[in-house]
Amino acid sequence: MSAQPLLRIRGLQTFYGKIQALHGVDMDVYEGEIVTLIGANGAGKSTLMMSICGDPQAREGSIEYLGENITGKPTYEIMRTGIAQSPEGRRIFPRMTVLENLLMGGMRSQPEHFEEELKRVFDLFPRLKERQHQRGGTLSGGEQQMLAIARALMSRPKLLLLDEPSLGLAPIIVKQIFEAIAELNRSDGLTVFLVEQNAYHALKLAHRGYVMVNGLITMQGSGAELLARDDVKAAYLEGGRH
């Protein structure tokens, strides 16, 4: 773990109009880590992720990526600096084919890398290769999630932001997807920031975790530490062990 975090967030405050969603969040993501953010519905997890992407933009505080302040930059510039995102609800392009979806993800990178990246994501998710000419909208939920992650990977990111990849998926598919994330981290050294409601799986996968309540970070620690804590268990894990 290097001393300089890849992503450094300090005192972040985000508002929707007059309503404050984040009340001063501090967070660090180091290179090569999987960091997860768990919390209940409406805690502000997705807002934090979207604030990193600059949509909505933070009103107070700072977000530094590779030592550079990216707060206040337009989304499309942030997404070209080596950060990629698989947004909440997957948001694949339903009328475009799988291949076209992937092409959209690789639009900002060099064309000569395209084939190489394509091979990499097809190796990771062989299902996508089988269905490369199929319309995105005709894929199953799990395949769509794979496509959303693969699309994000096409830009060869340093930091991958994943917003609830397990949402609405069968446990077996969730397992597959989490294994793929672990594999990406292990073999390619990809840094992953994972927002999840599925706290048990997320904490098992992650090196470190943060717990968010009402727009504030209330607990942090290694994944194993958080899993072992009684208050975390009571709040997020009861009945969640599936």
| Contacts to other proteins by CB under 8 A | 53, 55, 74-77, 79-80, 84-85, 87, 91-97, 99-100, 103-105, 107-108, 118, 132-135, 137-138, 151-152, 155
Nearest approach in angstroms of CB 71 to other proteins is 17
Closest CA to 156 of 62, 80, 42: 80
Nearest approach in angstroms of CB 106 to other proteins is 9
Nearest approach in angstroms of CB 55 to other proteins is 6
185 φ, ψ to 5°?
A: -70, -40
Q: Which is nearer to other proteins, 124 or 203 (CB)?
A: 124
Q: Which is nearer to other proteins, 140 or 222 (CB)?
A: 140
Nearest approach in angstroms of CB 146 to other proteins is 15
Q: Which is nearer to other proteins, 94 or 168 (CB)?
A: 94
Q: Which is nearer to other proteins, 30 or 93 (CB)?
A: 93
Nearest approach in angstroms of CB 77 to other proteins is 8
Nearest approach in angstroms of CB 104 to other proteins is 5
Q: Which is nearer to other proteins, 4 or 138 (CB)?
A: 138
Q: Which is nearer to other proteins, 49 or 202 (CB)?
A: 49
